[in-house]
Copies of this chain bind each other. A is one copy, B any other.
Amino acid sequence: MPDPILTVRGCHWISIAGVSDLRGRLNFVEAGKGLDFPPKRIFWLHGVPAGHRRGRHGHRQAQLVLVALAGICQVHLDDGKAKETVMLDDPGRGLHVEPLIWHELTDFSAEAAILVLASMPYDDAEFIRDYDEFKRLAVARVS
């Protein structure tokens, strides 16, 4: 089944190459091979208790790819106009998130481990943590 098309600007699913056999599954990415950018920062979220949320920001420049390596969570995407909620639940499928997309992760299962590949090193100034500011920037971008 092809991955569903997302309506939020600049967000799409990536089918991650892999090998599956009796010995289990292996999925892989390389820059230029299933990944549009060289990953400059790699981080993972885990041990998120029920009822807690992560993210709740947008990036000015960074692109992200999110993959559930174990367990599941929900991702709420918002481009300032359209909103959409998707489930991360497959180690073979990545969610590409462009800059200027407000994203929030919720409903982590107990064993969830969410891998994030980012196109930039960490830079606090690059985060938009105020929703009103995000909204102004996002609307200005499309108008």
Contact = CB atoms under 8 A, between A and B. Distances in A.
Interface in A104-134: 108, 111-113, 115, 117, 121-122
Contact of A24 (B25, B33, B43, B47): B47
Interface string A41-56: 1111111110011100
A5 interface: no
A40 B45 contact: no
B45 A25 contact: yes
Contact of A69 (B44, B117, B121): B44
Contacts of A67: 44
A86 interface: no
Given A42-B28, A69-B69, A23 B53 contact: yes
Given A30-B121, A40-B31, A42-B117, A52 B23 contact: yes
A108 B49 CA distance: 24
Q: Which of A22, A42, A111 has the most CB of B within 10 A?
A: A42
A110 B76 CA distance: 29
Contact of A113 (B20, B70, B117): B70
Most buried by B among A20, A43, A53, A115: A43
A62 to B, nearest CB: 12
